[in-house]
Amino acid sequence: MNKIYFLCTGNSCRSQMAEGYARIFLKDKYEIQSAGLEAHGVNPLAIKAMAEDNVDISHQHSKTINPHYFQAADLIVTLCGDAKDHCPVTAPQTRSIHWPLPDPAQATGTPEQQLLIFRQVRDEIKQRILALASNP
């Protein structure tokens, strides 16, 4: 089965949300994992935003890049510039795409304003995952 790897800086928001949606919409096409350059823990607002769309990522955990999975991946998706710029060199057969999404963890304001940013990023990720599902 093809392997997909979602990468961002801390593996706390964007890549976790992408992994959550991929486990629903891409499960028949890919083995799915996410990771970060660092492991910051899964952000509670990411968990909350995904739960609002009936996707439970509360059991996922934050992890750093596994070099073996990385080298075996058929598709690498970077979700931030930091991961794109600092990602290890991919194998020649590996396809990579970049989704330049804002980091919702950097959102400021009230908790509700912050959650709004998480929802916007979540919705963008969902659309991109659905596009991947319909056009492999």
Q: Residue 33's beta-bridge partner residues? A: 5
Least confident interval from 27-31, 57-61, 84-88, 122-126: 84-88
Q: How confident is the model at residue 81 (pLDDT cuts 50, 70, 90)?
A: low
pLDDT at 94 (0 to 100): 85
Q: Among 24, 72, 87, 130, which one carries the catalytic annotation?
A: 87
Give the C-alpha distances (Å, rounded to integers) separating 89 from 102, 108, 125: 23, 34, 24
Higher-pLDDT residue of 90, 17: 17
Domain range holding 118?
Answer: 2-134
**106-117 per-position pLDDT tens digit:** 999 999 999 999
Q: Among 7, 18, 75, 80, which one carries the catalytic annotation?
A: 80
Structure tokens at 7: 């990468």
Q: pLDDT exceeding 90 applies to what percent of the chain?
A: 76
Tally the domains of the chain: 1
Least confident interval from 2-16, 64-78, 83-97: 83-97
| Most confident by average pLDDT, 1-15, 68-82, 87-101 | 1-15
CB under 8 A, 24+ apart: contacts of 121-128? 121/13, 121/14, 121/17, 121/49, 122/17, 122/46, 122/49, 122/50, 122/53, 124/99, 125/14, 125/17, 125/18, 125/21, 125/79, 125/99, 125/101, 126/21, 126/53, 128/18, 128/99
Annotation marks residue 13 as catalytic: no
Q: Among 4, 8, 47, 132, which one carries the catalytic annotation?
A: 8
Report how far residue 114's alpha carbon sits from residue 108's, in angstroms, rounded to the nearest whole number: 6
Annotation marks residue 87 as catalytic: yes
Number of other residues whose CB lies within 10 A of the CB of residue 43:
22
**Residue whose C-alpha is closest to residue 133's, from 34, 8, 4, 45:** 4
| Average pLDDT estimate for 49-59 | 98
Higher-pLDDT residue of 125, 82: 125
CATH code of the domain covering residue 43? 3.40.50.2300
Annotation marks residue 8 as catalytic: yes
